[in-house]
A and B are shown apart, each in its own frame.
Chain A
Amino acid sequence: MRHSLCILAILVSAGAMAQTPRDFLTRFEKEAAAPAVAERGGRFFDATHGNDWSCSTCHTTRPTQPGRHAKTDKTIAPLAPAANAERFTSPAKVDKWFRRNCNDVVGRECSAQEKADLLAWLLTLK
């Protein structure tokens, strides 16, 4: 009995930690209190927002492909979950990169709606 309780506890905590891209989409849509619009996310990704860079400057306009850091030229693994199973699985990483990259590209934090749209668009890429 104690054993099965332990196993249950492990399963529950593992389930709480591991996240899928869909979990993030649900979270952002909930925070935005509106459904995501993938097409709007695609436009957001390719556009500049007052600064020199767009998302696609480093991630390319087809983020199923590897990108290149605009400053250092270092290869960036594909951003689209279909091409890179590690993307959008860690809350700490997702929050960190949105914080940094939105600041560089948009000059502020991205809104939950922008994140939802963007991720919905990334999930359409195969």
Chain B
Amino acid sequence: MKTWLALLLIALALPAWADRFSVPKHAAFDEECASCHLAYPPQLLDAVSWRALMENLPRHFGVDASLDDNRRLAITDFLTRHAGRGGSTTSSGKPLLRITETPWFRREHDEIAAPTWQRTAIKSPANCAACHTQAASGDFRERNIHIPKRGTP
């Protein structure tokens, strides 16, 4: 019984340990998404969120990221196939569109003070690679974190 309980606790804690993601190669995803930002691991949002996000590319967080239908559908398929489980929604019940608003992200970054995000070399919580030096390869491990100091360009 005790062993079971221990196993259950480990299983529950697992998502919090995930700090390495295999970022599957996908030519269209790399070209279209990663030309403007990091190729965020598809595991970081659930399928409902990815679908909602891909439906609204002409208004993608304030930027026109519109794609032709073929590419849009191919990338949507790729993202939803590798999506995480998540299931979180906004307070009004809509799918979360920002990885930075997921409970997982908030938990992992709860020790980062608000002004730190605004440092010149960081700019925004979406800029993973500012601190996670190996983020492009899906490696978010503690040992590869380097938080730029205040005032560094």
Contacts and interface: CB of A to CB of B under 8 A. Distances in A.
A104 B130 CA distance: 25
B124 A99 contact: no
Contact of B36 (A69, A96, A99): A69
Contacts of B115: none
Contacts of B65: 100
A68 to B, nearest CB: 10
Interface residues of A, number: 11
Contact of B63 (A74, A96, A99, A104): A104
B36 A74 contact: yes
B105 interface: no
A contact patch SS: helix
A103 interface: yes
B127 A72 contact: yes
B20 to A, nearest CB: 22
Nearest to A53: B63
B66 A72 contact: no
B66 A99 contact: yes
A74 B124 contact: no
B37 A69 contact: yes
A74 B38 contact: yes
B94 interface: no
Contacts of A99: 64, 66
Interface of B: 35-38, 58, 61-68, 123-124, 126-127, 130
Shortest Cβ-Cβ A-B pairs, 8 listed: A72-B37, A103-B64, A100-B64, A73-B123, A73-B127, A104-B64, A69-B36, A74-B37
